[in-house]
Structure 1
């Protein structure tokens, strides 16, 4: 029996149907890296709560923990912004100290109100970041080298200025509202009979604003997309008409501004503006950003991931501290747990992706 004859038009339609791209199957929801970070953070918090019930004390433990997480999340965002263009900022801690220095100077010598001191701090941080980005864009020198040099320069300058301007290497003048910002929580904010949680510090408002601003920048604006394209492929971005030099300067400006904000928050947390602010910021800045899904090579960022990555680090550090782990052992355990978490997440993602590919 002969096969039914086909027309040329029928053959062309058949070929087009075969060549048409098939809709890609979405990966399972549980492959999402941010979801994995959230589940791991909650699980560890529950575990530490079982081992040490004091871990769940809202005022004595969770309040300072969330205050630290709020500060370090801003630090991670400061690093994330420059990572988005394929750079890094090794001076993030010194920029924080430099910005906080001018805020403390304004409060101590000029009698500035709290808000103006904060604005001065942010302006100085943004200016230092812009200078760093300008040097990188104009000279073509690696961001690693420029920010490392800036770190050493700011370290010496901050120490010199504190020694010259203060007696105890710290500004202790506290403007009106600073102590309230340090100690009050959302429980002090009520709408009728509805009040917030005593575990959430009011200082977290700065972190929420930073998260929201960067979220809108990268997901809703052309400038944000150009920052990511600059990090993904600088040469292609340049050929497509993107002003990569200006985008590099913008990224470092935002990084300096966020670093200064983190320095201000750290100073508020301790109640003093001193030279040691930000000296331990560099490692958390990379951990929070990279754990959250930001690529070191640029082009991919996750604002929410930076928050979740920082939260995971904070929970691990506080939990191990309550278990009586010494500082030296704490860093060892922290590094091992983070390495295992990254490895497990990577293996889980690859295995799940292969299963989906095989099933297509």
Structure 2
């Protein structure tokens, strides 16, 4: 049991997060300021957890989605257009955006399954195509590069926390209202891959495509479904970012690609497919957000910002890899029980 806990990469991530929080707090006590840091971190983390889940959906196959940011952008456009031109309620616009994201993801999955072309090539080409399409759509249907529209409930979702709602003298915690959306998404994805037949078949397809096909699993369909889920989650991330920013703009999703990989990979999801970790993805996204916020409070130069983030993440990855190597060595050092020496009959 102890070895199993030691070998869990999520434990290493949690330790690193706690250490970094302590270090940044010691250097800048404002790191624990509720309004300045804690609430904004949670809002940003909500977006990047969902982005990580979008990438995790296709990493389960050993695929990747390089168009995750542009899927978010085109979905945000669809939602913004619906709010601006059709005056639909908040939930209806969200559903429209999710539908568009799912359709784009399904198109990518169908292309991969039908042609056999590597997901890297397909989603990279799709990313370039969507860059031009999103710019064209905004220039055609909006007054500029964004829809500055706020349907009923959007301002509340963006600015309120549970601490703003009280029952007598008892108020809620300083948690933004958007956080439960990410928690529900994480829980749903976790249940999907752990408990549903469809999720387990997607993991089997990612683990061994040929074996899954011989077992009767419709692998092409599972590929399409995994990419559909990725597009759906990318659309949700785009909506959450639009709510946080207060506008549906063309640059939504532009910074999604790197965080989409960092969360799942740091959390233990295999790039080769066949194994995912939803909780690890949450911890990986949290680690990234803590690093970014801490370095920002330390006022590092913008030009060097990404360099420092890369160095810290490299150290975190190295420590986590070292922990895994040590765990494997411990397994190999388990003493073997010597086999009894057999004696032949008639020999003393």
| Pair 1:94 & 2:70 matched | yes
In the alignment, the residues of structure 2 paired with residue 29 and residue 293 of structure 1 have an alpha-carbon distance, to the nearest angstrom, of 14
Q: Deviations over 1:292-324 (max 9, x none)?
A: 111111111000000000000000000001001
In the alignment, the residues of structure 1 paired with residue 160 and residue 149 of structure 2 have an alpha-carbon distance, to the nearest angstrom, of 19
Report how many aligned residue pairs link the two structures: 335
4+ long deviations beyond 6 Å? none
In the alignment, the residues of structure 2 paired with residue 75 and residue 81 of structure 1 have an alpha-carbon distance, to the nearest angstrom, of 10
Query: Which residue of structure 2 aligns with residue 148 of structure 1?
Result: 124
In the alignment, the residues of structure 2 paired with residue 147 and residue 202 of structure 1 have an alpha-carbon distance, to the nearest angstrom, of 32
Q: Deviations over 1:133-181 (max 9, x none)?
A: 1111111111111101110111100000100111221100111110100
| Pair 1:165 & 2:165 matched | no
Counterpart among 215, 232, 257 of residue 232 in structure 2: 257
- The alpha-carbon deviation at position 351 of structure 1 amounts to 1.3
In the alignment, the residues of structure 1 paired with residue 4 and residue 62 of structure 2 have an alpha-carbon distance, to the nearest angstrom, of 29
| Pair 1:283 & 2:264 matched | no
Query: Which residue of structure 1 aligns with residue 323 of structure 2?
Result: 348
- The alpha-carbon deviation at position 29 of structure 1 amounts to 2.2
Counterpart among 99, 106, 115 of residue 123 in structure 1: 99
Query: Which stretch has the larger CA shift, 325-334 or 91-100?
Result: 325-334
Query: Which stretch has the larger CA shift, 65-74 or 32-41?
Result: 32-41
Counterpart among 329, 342, 345 of residue 304 in structure 2: 329
Secondary structure, aligned partner of 2:223: helix
- The alpha-carbon deviation at position 348 of structure 1 amounts to 1.5
In the alignment, the residues of structure 2 paired with residue 331 and residue 279 of structure 1 have an alpha-carbon distance, to the nearest angstrom, of 15
8 Å Cα contact 2:98/2:236 also seen in 1 = yes
Query: Which residue of structure 2 aligns with residue 218 of structure 1?
Result: 193
Equivalences for residues 236-247 of structure 1 within 5 A: 236-247=211-222
Q: 1:191 to 1:251 in 2, by over 3 A?
A: farther
User: CA-atom RMSD, angstroms?
Assistant: 1.3
8 Å Cα contact 1:27/1:353 also seen in 2 = no
TM superposition score normalised by structure 1: 0.91
Counterpart among 100, 123, 138 of residue 114 in structure 2: 138
8 Å Cα contact 2:54/2:231 also seen in 1 = yes
Secondary structure, aligned partner of 1:296: coil
- The alpha-carbon deviation at position 89 of structure 1 amounts to 0.2
- Which is higher, the Rg of structure 1 or of structure 2? 1
Secondary structure, aligned partner of 1:307: helix
Q: Deviations over 1:227-246 (max 9, x none)?
A: 11111110111111111101
TM superposition score normalised by structure 2: 0.94
8 Å Cα contact 1:37/1:309 also seen in 2 = yes
- Please list every run of 5 or more consecutive structure 2 residues that lacks an aligned counterpart in the other structure: 336-348
In the alignment, the residues of structure 2 paired with residue 52 and residue 185 of structure 1 have an alpha-carbon distance, to the nearest angstrom, of 24
Query: Which stretch has the larger CA shift, 46-55 or 182-191?
Result: 182-191
Q: Deviations over 1:93-142 (max 9, x none)?
A: 00000000011001100001111010101011001111111111111111
- Please list every run of 5 or more consecutive structure 1 residues that lacks an aligned counterpart in the other structure: 1-24
Q: Deviations over 1:249-281 (max 9, x none)?
A: 000000000000000000001101110000010
In the alignment, the residues of structure 2 paired with residue 166 and residue 292 of structure 1 have an alpha-carbon distance, to the nearest angstrom, of 39
Equivalences for residues 1-360 of structure 1 within 5 A: 27-190=3-166, 194-198=170-174, 200-360=175-335
In the alignment, the residues of structure 1 paired with residue 287 and residue 59 of structure 2 have an alpha-carbon distance, to the nearest angstrom, of 20
8 Å Cα contact 2:6/2:327 also seen in 1 = no
